[in-house]
Amino acid sequence: MGRLPSFHPIMQVFLRFALPALLATCVHASNAKEESAPEADICSSNSAAERTRPYVNEAKAVYFVNLRDGDKVTSPFRIAFGLVGMGIAPAGVRMENTGHHHLLINQKLTNEMLIKPIPFSEKYRHFARGETEATLDLPPGKHTLRLLFADADHKPYYISSKEVTVEVVARNGLSKKP
């Protein structure tokens, strides 16, 4: 995009960065296979009432916001967690349909894990204060990551993310480990 006409600087930033992203979201949503996909509703709704209505029957899901399978990262790196259909609450807070995130590092999800409280170790990271992002410091190499959502007592709901594999290709100066 070339030089914009003499718009206010904030409008120039919007036109250069935000508007193309918004349009890309709408194009993506128009190609969505399901009519009830949240993105499709955002772009196709005409009124505020339609755009802000709650999703009563939405599926419950947990996912990585900023990681994709096969990403190559420099450690430490930021991970962000997404959640649909439930709420976040710190461990120990007992509210219906709420819980907190757990991160499985280089661990396969087994049926046994789904019936017992999640253990505390470096391979099972707890985000018991209700965190929705963290900085992860892993050694170079390939690592599998999976989110598992659990209740106030660390007992998993049957809600986990897809497993993603990331490759730590280097460490930067922020790393604590050698």
Say which amino acid occupies 94.
R
End-to-end CA distance of the chain: 44
Confidence class for position 106, pLDDT limits 50, 70, 90: very high
E strand residue ranges, the chain: 61-64, 72-75, 77-84, 87-88, 98-105, 124-126, 133-136, 141-150, 156-160, 164-171
For residue 69, name the pLDDT band (cuts at 50, 70, 90): very high
| 61 pLDDT tier (thresholds 50, 70, 90) | confident
Average confidence score pLDDT of the chain: 75
Residue of 134, 135, 145 lying closest to 167 (CA atoms): 145
| pLDDT tens-digit series, residues 23-59 | 544 444 444 444 444 444 445 556 777 666 665 556 7
Q: What are phi and psi of 77, to 5 degrees?
A: -140, 155
Q: Kindly state the percentage of the chain with pLDDT values over 70.
A: 65
The pTM of the full predicted model, rounded to 2 decimals, is: 0.63
H-type alpha helices, 8-136:
9-13, 19-30, 38-44, 48-51
Q: Is the pLDDT of residue 173 over 60?
A: yes
Task: Walk me through the domains of the chain, giving residue ranges and CATH numbers.
Answer: 9-51 (no CATH), 61-171 (2.60.40.10)
Band the pLDDT of 160: cuts 50, 70, 90: confident
CB-CB neighbours of 65 under 10 Å: 12
